[in-house]
Amino acid sequence: MNDNFPALAEFRSDHAMHPASDFERDFVACLSRKPHRISPKYLYDRAGSALFDRICTLPEYYPTRAEQSILTHNATEIAKYIGPNVDLVEFGAGSLAKIRPLLDAFAPGCRPARYLPVDISGEHLALAASELSAAYPDVAVEPIVADYTAQIAWPDGPQRRRVGFFPGSTLGNFDADEALRFLKSAATLLRGGGLLLGIDLIKEPLILHNAYNDRDGMTAAFNGNLLRRANRELGADFDLKCFRHYAFYNPSMQRIEMHLVSTRNQVVALGARSFVLNEGDSIHTESSYKYSVPMFRDLASSAGYQPKAVWFDTDRLFSVHWLEVPAAHQR
């Protein structure tokens, strides 16, 4: 493809991963105000999800590797915290790769009774769920295609202790008030159970910079795919040659910011509307907040959790936390 983002196979689907009306409404709102900002959830259509899976294998992208090592080396201890025969809910499940070492750590007959992976990328989730179900026939795998930050219609079934799994430091994509709101909502769902989640740690800025500016350009392609998706699903006319991927660490906010920057003055059509983007204007597509352990434990406590165990990789780049939710938890 003749644009500023690395070429990738064109993915097409007759089924939008997220309702086009929501995508269009939010993109129109993004372009109608400054600063231009849109939720990172729209990065994850089928093509975006596949690209993110490739990013997770890159040498610069340490979070997946570090978290996987934590889950693998501490799986037996983590399984004891989770407990036997639970309903295990994974938020933003993606490829379902991180659940496997945990399932392997349970004693016979003690694996989760049901595993409920939630993701907005339906085709991607269906394939991953089918493969997982074949590998673990004793676990009822029931994928849910939904935005896990919205109201979800949970499948019926026997009342069991519920445990949440939220890997990948995805909580870092939320601003502080959004993170608190999600944690409170999850605590209501999981009362009497617990939440296992990954949190990326504050660290040397160069490590962070390299993780979001890989030399293969996969993160640039992932970011630029948002515009391809808008062209395909919304009838927009973004010229990808006129945008640059730009990601940097903002130390005052303790977050990585990912942007698409306009390289010239231009007019973009989206449906029946037109929007002016000047040279240097950016669309803020994702933030990734980094935490210290005390910062995160304070946040979890304020959302009604009781922070318990925390595990680290050998380089202490990443952390995995076990949070308990009292049975009497109230929203």
pLDDT digits (tens, 9 = 90+) for 133-143: 999 999 999 99
Q: Does residue 95 register a pLDDT over 80?
A: no
Please tell me the predicted confidence (pLDDT) of residue 17: 43
pLDDT band at 232, cuts 50/70/90? very high
Q: Distance (Å, rounded) from C-alpha 264 to C-alpha 262?
A: 6
- Residue 197 sits at φ, ψ, to 5 deg, of -145, 155
Of the pLDDT bands very low, low, confident and very high (cuts 50, 70, 90), residue 329 is low
Burial of 33 (0-12, 13-18, 19+ CB in 10 A): exposed
User: What is the structure's pLDDT at 90?
Assistant: 94
| Residue 83: pLDDT over 90 | yes
Percent of the chain residues topping a pLDDT of 70: 93
Q: Are 70 and 320 in contact (CB under 8 A)?
A: yes
Give pLDDT, residue 12: 34
Mean pLDDT of 228-237: 95
Residue 220 has pLDDT above 90, yes or no: yes
Strand partners for 319: 199, 312
The angle at the Cα of 202, spanning 169 to 64, to the nearest 5 degrees, equals 35
State how beta strands 243-250 and 255-262 pair: antiparallel
What's the pLDDT at 2?
A: 42
The confidence band for 204, taking pLDDT boundaries of 50, 70 and 90, is very high
**15-52, pLDDT tens digit by residue?**
334 444 789 999 999 999 999 999 999 999 989 989 99
190 exposed, middle or buried (CB, 10 Å; 0-12, 13-18, 19+)?
A: buried
Q: What pLDDT band is residue 330 in, cutting at 50, 70 and 90?
A: low
The tokens for 329 are: 């938890």
Angle at 227 between CA 223 and CA 229, to 5 degrees: 100
Instruction: Give the pLDDT band of residue 5 (cuts 50, 70, 90).
Output: low
pLDDT at 192: 94
Residue tagged 């434990």 (tokens): 297
Strands 36-37 and 282-289, sheet pairing? parallel
12 burial (CB, 10 Å; 0-12 / 13-18 / 19+) is exposed
Query: Do the Cβ atoms of 254 and 218 come closer than 8 Å?
Result: no
How much is the pLDDT for 11? 36
User: CA angle at residue 157 from 156 to 158, to 5 degrees?
Assistant: 145
Tell me which amino acid residue 220 is. A
- pTM listed for this prediction: 0.89
Percent of the chain with pLDDT over 90: 80
Dump the DSSP string for 198-221: EEEBP--HHHHHHHTS-TT-HHHH
Phi, psi of 292, deg, nearest 5:
-90, 165
Q: What is the model's pLDDT at position 16?
A: 38
Selection from 238, 243, 239, 241 nearest residue 271 by Cα: 238
User: What pLDDT is recorded for position 146?
Assistant: 86
Q: What are the structural domains of the chain?
A: 1-6+16-230+290-324 (3.40.50.150)
Q: Which of 45-54, 75-84, 144-153, 269-278 has the lowest mean pLDDT?
A: 144-153
Check whether 4 has a pLDDT greater than 90.
no
> What is the average pLDDT across 199-205?
97
